[in-house]
Amino acid sequence: MSADVLSTEPHTPPVGTSLLSLTGIQKRFGAVRALSDVDFEVRAGEVVALIGDNGAGKSTLVKVMSGAGPADEGSYRIEGREVSIATPAAASSHGVATVFQDLAICDNLDVVANLFLGRELTRGVALDEAEMERRAVELLEQLSVKLPSVRIPMASLSGGQRQSVAIVRALLGSPKVVLLDEPTAALGVAQTAQVLNLVERLRDRGLGVVLISHNMADVMAVADRAVVLRLGRVAGRFDMADVSREQLVATITGADTNVVSERAARVAGRSPAAPTGPEGNQA
């Protein structure tokens, strides 16, 4: 009974195997081509950042993966097998869990009740509170999520704690892939760190994590790879080990010289046109 709560899945794929892969994804909304010919892959034990400007198609792609808005064309593979994911239920039964930006949390219920909402454990007709609490505590402990108590209403928790609970909740279904839509958007510095720690722990457990974010600092901090969308197409794929923040920003905006990089350069005290200062081109 004291076994790892998360490893109820019969097999955990070895790190590096492809968990979820999309190829040739097309999605139109009337005249708008929201996604054209997008390929995307998540492997076990990696964090893939999905970044792009507003309207680039990030949310549309997440909806394709989560089953909330299936693609018009393209193939969807789970561990190499072609699947049809037309509903959120189909996605979760294939091991793809989504934590949406607007947290689906009931503030009036406590942490345990929220974690098990819709899949409560029972003994006969009665809720099995002791068993649910035991598993909740164990799960939170395994992921080092610190809460004052699991029996206080969600409304009492800080933003970072709430986001952590929302993520842990997604893990109860033993998914292989977790999609996080802007998990740190509403958080302060310390709370963001909490959530990023949790993201790293998910990766260390061999899950594939897709992180949608506007925040380059977060992306640089935890992602292994980044896929940049621009105007519904993949504008670049990067290994985080060998990409700079400026390169990412340039790809997002679609220009090597642009408002953002110009500003960055000016602040750094040099002009992009004349990179001949004493510090040269070292960046």
Partner 1 sequence: MSTTSTDSANDAAAMTPAVATPAGGDAPQQPKQMLRERLAGLRGGDLGSLPVVVGLVVIVIVFQSLNSTFLNSFNLVNLCLQIAAVGIIATGVTLVLLLGEIDLSVGSVSGLAAAILAVLNVNEQMSPLVALLAAALGGLVIGTIHGLVFTKLGVPSFIVTLAGLLVWQGAQLQVLGSQGTINLPPRGGLQQFGRFSYLEDWQAYGLAVLLPVLFLAAKLLTRARRTRAGLPVGAVWVPVAQALLLLVVLLAIVAKLSIDRGVPWIFVVFVAILAVIEYVLRRTRYGRAVFAVGGNIEAARRAGIKVDALRTSVFAIASMLAAVGGTVAAMRLGFANQSSGAADTLINAIAAAVIGGTSLFGGRSRMYSALLGALVIGAIANGLDLLNLSSALRYIITGTVLLLAVVIDALASRGRQSSGR
Q: What is the 3-state secondary structure (H, E, C) of 71-124?
A: CCEEEEEECCEEECCCCHHHHHHCCEEEECCCCCCCCCCEHHHHHCCCCCCEEC
Q: Which residue's Cβ lies closest to Mg ion?
A: 59
Q: Which of 133, 192, 198 is nearest to 165 (CA)?
A: 198
Name the residue nearer to ligand ADP (CB basis): 52 or 206: 52
CB of 212 to partner 1, least distance (A): 18
Q: Which residue in the set 19, 38, 105, 143 belongs to the binding site for partner 1 (CB under 8 A)?
A: 105
Q: Which is nearer to ligand ADP, 25 or 199 (CB)?
A: 25
Taking the complex as a whole, the smallest distance from the CB of residue 72 to Mg ion amounts, in Å, to 19
Hey, how many other C-beta atoms are within 10 angstroms of the C-beta on 240?
17
Answer yes or no whether residue 151 interacts with partner 1 by CB under 8 A: yes
The β-bridge partners of 198 are none
For ligand ADP, which is the closer residue by CB, 177 or 252?
A: 252
Region binding partner 1 by CB under 8 A among candidate stretches 78-86, 116-124, 219-227, 265-273 = 116-124
Q: Least CB distance from residue 186 to ligand ADP, whole Å?
A: 16
Site string for partner 1, 158-197 (x = CB under 8 A): xxxx--------------------------xxxx------
Nearest C-alpha neighbor of 214 from the set 251, 178, 184, 179: 184
Distance of closest approach, residue 256 Cβ to ligand ADP, in angstroms: 22
List of E strands, the chain:
18-29, 32-43, 46-52, 73-78, 81-83, 96-99, 122-123, 126-127, 177-181, 208-212, 225-230, 233-239
Among 31, 126, 267, 274, the residue binding partner 1 under the rule CB under 8 A is 126
Residues that bind ligand ADP (CB under 6 A): 29, 32, 34, 52, 54-60
Nearer to ligand ADP, 35 or 132 (CB): 35
Identity of the residue, 89 or 283, whose beta carbon is nearer to partner 1 in the bound complex? 89
Can you read off the two tokens belonging to residue 52? 């792009």
> What residue type is 185 in one-letter code?
A
Give phi and psi for 123, each to the nearest 5. Answer: -120, 110
Per-residue binding letters, 43-72, with Mg ion (x by CB under 5 A): ----------------x-------------
Which distant-in-sequence residues (6+ apart) come within 8 Å of 130 by Cβ? none
Residue 282, C-beta contacts closer than 8 angstroms, at least 6 positions apart: none
Q: Both tokens of residue 283?
A: 């960046």
Looking at the Cβ atoms of 104 and 283, the one nearer to partner 1 is 104
Interacting residue ranges for partner 1, rule: CB under 8 A:
88-89, 100, 102-110, 112-113, 117-120, 122, 125-127, 129-131, 133-134, 137, 147-149, 151-153, 155-161, 188-191
